[in-house]
Amino acid sequence: MILSEKIPVQKKYSRIISLVPSQTELLAYLGFEEEVVGITKFCIHPSGWFHQKTRVGGTKNINLEKIEELSPDLIIANKEENVKEQIEQLSKKYNVWVTDVNNLDEAIKMINDIGKLTQRQQQASSLSLKIKEGFEKLKKTGAEKRKIRAAYFIWKDPWMVAASQTFINDMLKYAGFENVFANLDRYPEISLDELKKINTELILLSSEPYPFNEKHKREIEKLNPDIKIEIVDGEMFSWYGSRLLKSVDYFLSFFKHN
Contact 253, 138 (CB under 8 A): no
Residues 6+ apart with CB under 8 A from 50: 39, 43, 44
- Eight-state DSSP code of residue 146: P
First to last CA, the chain: 41
- Other Cβ atoms less than 10 A from the Cβ of 175: the count is 27
Cα-based distances in Å from 162 to 126, 186, 190, 248: 30, 6, 10, 20
Q: Which CATH architecture has domain 145-257?
A: 3-Layer(aba) Sandwich (3.40)
Q: How would you write the pLDDT of the chain (258 residues) with one tens digit per residue?
A: 445 556 666 578 999 999 999 999 999 999 999 999 999 999 999 999 999 999 999 999 999 999 999 999 999 999 999 999 999 999 999 999 999 999 999 999 999 999 999 999 999 999 999 999 999 999 888 777 788 999 999 999 999 999 999 999 999 999 999 999 999 999 999 988 888 889 899 999 999 999 999 999 998 988 888 899 999 999 999 999 999 999 999 998 877 665
3-state secondary structure of 62: strand
Question: Which residues of the chain form CATH 3.40.50.1980?
Answer: 4-100, 145-257
Q: Which fold has domain 4-100?
A: Rossmann fold (3.40.50)
Contact 160, 190 (CB under 8 A): yes
CA separation for the pair 86, 80 (Å, rounded): 13
Contact 138, 206 (CB under 8 A): no
Tell me phi and psi for residue 147, to 5 degrees. -75, 135
